[in-house]
Structure 1
Amino acid sequence: MSPPGSSDSDSGLRPDRVDDPVDTAVWRLRSRGCWHDAAALLTPRAAGDASAALKRTAVLTERCMFTSEGWEAAEDALRAAEALALTDDERGATACERGYLAYASTLLGVRDRADEARTALGRAAALLGPGSPTRPLLDFRRGLIAQHLAQNPTGAQAAFQRAHAGAKNHGDELLLSCTWRHLAAMAEQEGDLAEARRGFAESLRIREELGYLIGIAPALAALAEVEEEPEATRLRTEAERLVRLLGGVPVWLAEQLRQAPTATA
């Protein structure tokens, strides 16, 4: 119950590795959908620090994905981050973010930037070394392109599996919740409902443990699609409650929940 690939934040902001007070505050704001405030906290550092500039871009790109608004602000932040990137890893990470922003614009029907998304992720692949901590995120995003823009499920599954293994190796729990979710969705499409339930449940568990509030409603709704009644209705009702609590985000999920048939329909 979501447009393909749109429920996941995979920005590489690491809630499980946060020990800086500013980063901690950014995570708390971001996880509750307060992207503007989170970006504002990063603005002083982002003026001259490539890592902070990339984090700010990721926050604003996530806002676009969840609200379908703020595209110009995200683009401006991305250009600023690109200007500060000096090393191959920094340039690769910004290229990865450009690819994701272009993918989001294409997926949500704002503007077709599919070619830009592919080109940017290809550039990221050339710049990032095999041991880069950004590599699993890149693999995941290339999986999104393969699945939802190129209609290549085989390539998508291979990319998601690489991202899943990389997320485990690097201890990236939030990305792991995303890979669980997308592998589960592919299992659902193949008719393996037991594996789909397992993957969706793992994705939900991780998001709840991390306190990633804005990501919980999509995870609940996805699990509801493969559960039997009355559990499916309970999960969907909880998803609706969270969407209302967060002011109607994700916007696409709010619309889909309004259109969803009731259990008795």
Structure 2
Amino acid sequence: MPAAVGGRHNPTSTAVGKPAVTTSAAVGRSVVPGDDPRQIAVWRLRSRGCWEDAAALLAPYAAEDAAIAVQRAALLVERCLFTEAGWADAEDALRAAEALAASDDERGAAACERGHLAYAATVLGVRDRADEARAALGRAAALLAPTAPGRPLLDFRRGLIAEHLADSPEAALPAYRRAHAGATAQGDLLLCSFTWRHLAGLALRDGELAEARHGFTESLRIREELGYLIGTAPALAALAGAEPEPEATRLRIEATRLFRLLGGLPTWLADQLPQTPAA
């Protein structure tokens, strides 16, 4: 696994019982459910790019609990997005979650992750799975009620497909706005960070610099406050794209430092950062 801050983490928590998951799309949520030590450990590992270790903590429970199986699959899908590796593990975890899902919410959450994995493979150039991504998110939309906890995450991912696979920012904008409103209502701060960033990206594309700076700044602030370390370098680089000099250079240098500290993750960020000598 790619290096992370402090190397591999080995939480010492031995909490008894199944880790609490309050929503079938728990991996998309930034708020750790309750005070469950195992879920706290999962969040800390995930936020530092140790997805394999986080998934291992959930493995004993994922065999019988569909919500936890989806959470575990989502962790491994996210690893694919950041590392461009681990595709087979993510596929295996997804198939297991799909087999275990019984309710519409569980099936919808699994379909949402299936669509996200297909999107990741397509956008990273591994294999064109755009049709699969659209079909899976369409299934999720049919299964998840408008008020389901996983609906904002689904709206966000449909926005990603519209923007990056269909090259249709006009279709992505309402999807991101719905996702942002839903995430705000649910108190899902991490998803708010993602929606702020993508709304800001569309504003920057339209030349709305003040709006773009505000969105990118909010996205970065939330990630820093949550300790979502693995996502902080991309947020710094995104904000740099909307700032004048010398602030833009300062932000890119900070993003480069953090990128190296995390072992070169996310891999796709390398081309957006200055190639300065390592300290």
Instruction: Calculate percent identity across the aligned residue pairs.
Output: 71
Unmatched tracts of structure 1, length 5 or more: 1-9, 261-265
Partner of 1:4: none
- Name the SS for the 1:16 alignment partner: coil
In 1: Cα distance, 2:65 partner to 2:116 partner: 21
| Structure 1 segment 1-265 matched on structure 2, within 5 A | 12-19=27-34, 20-258=36-274
In 1: Cα distance, 2:169 partner to 2:242 partner: 20
CA contact (8 A) 1:136 1:162 kept: yes
- Name the SS for the 1:15 alignment partner: coil
Q: Which has the higher helix share?
A: 1
Partner of 1:5: none
Deviation at 1:224, TM superposition (A): 0.5
Structure 1 residue runs of 4 or more that deviate by more than 4 Å after TM superposition: none
- Name the SS for the 2:245 alignment partner: coil
Deviation at 1:16, TM superposition (A): 1.6
Unmatched tracts of structure 2, length 5 or more: 1-24
Partner of 2:18: none
Deviation at 1:151, TM superposition (A): 1.6
- Name the SS for the 1:78 alignment partner: helix
CA contact (8 A) 2:32 2:40 kept: no
Counterpart code for 2:244: E
Of structures 1 and 2, the one with the larger relative CO (CA 8 A, separation 6+) is: 1
Deviation at 1:15, TM superposition (A): 3.0
CA contact (8 A) 1:12 1:137 kept: no
CA contact (8 A) 1:39 1:60 kept: yes
CA contact (8 A) 1:12 1:175 kept: no
In 1: Cα distance, 2:130 partner to 2:111 partner: 14
Deviation at 1:152, TM superposition (A): 1.4
Aligned pair in 2 of structure 1 residues 13, 157: CA closer, same or farther (>3 Å)? Answer: closer
In 2: Cα distance, 1:17 partner to 1:70 partner: 25
Deviation at 1:14, TM superposition (A): 2.5
Deviations 1:203-260 (A, max 9, x none): 0000001100000000000000111111111111110010111011011112331469
TM-score by length of 1: 0.92
Deviation at 1:12, TM superposition (A): 3.6
TM-score by length of 2: 0.88
